[in-house]
Amino acid sequence: MVLLLFNKPYGVLCQFTDESTGPTRPTLASFIDRPGVYPAGRLDLDSEGLLLLTDDGRLQARIADPRFKMPKTYLVQVEGDPDEAALERLRRGVRLKDGPTLPARVERIEAPALWPRDPPVRFRKSVPDCWLRLTISEGRNRQVRRMTAAVGHPTLRLVRWRIGDWTLDGLAPGESRVAAETSGPKGAR
């Protein structure tokens, strides 16, 4: 069993091949040279941060399957300056088109010391922004972005910092490290 932690850069597909008919986009193959590992979960093209890859199907399912409710923590730069009422709505759960979300843990934080994003987040002098630390325990498509938009504060930058006990600490964009490696039978695919 192998478990890799990878800091997915902005604009990289969470797959090993780009099957689109448009311009070629960078994929995991540009960064991960370890056969037999697959992402446990996804990160959108325009999101950054922690992605776990494994060759163990059971571990992959446990990490990615919403039934296991593995907490995922994001550093989120949002447009505007959310008041306590907006944060409380996130804490209670918000209604999205596909139903209500589970409650999130959320707090306002100082701007984290992150790497520069390429391309940079758009900056507008007349519109403030704010950073949040937001933890969810489900994994719907673009969920954090949809949640912040639902409370009136669209996401400008989204960095997944933690999944369960694994964090991005010490990993620069495009870097990976082995978190666990054991020999023996792999889990079922």
Catalytic residue status for 98? no
- Average pLDDT over the chain, rounded to an integer: 91
The region of weakest confidence among 2-6, 54-58, 76-80 is 54-58
Question: Do 68 and 138 form a contact (C-beta atoms < 8 A)?
Answer: no
Which domains, from first to last, does the chain contain?
1-68+165-189 (3.30.70.580), 71-163 (3.30.70.1560)
Question: Which of 143, 9, 131, 123 lies closest to 76 in space, CA to CA?
Answer: 131
Write down the catalytic residue from 44, 56, 83, 118: 44
pLDDT at 95: 95
0.85 exceeded by pTM: yes
Helix H or strand E segment including 64:
helix 57-64
Over pLDDT 90: what percentage of the chain?
A: 72
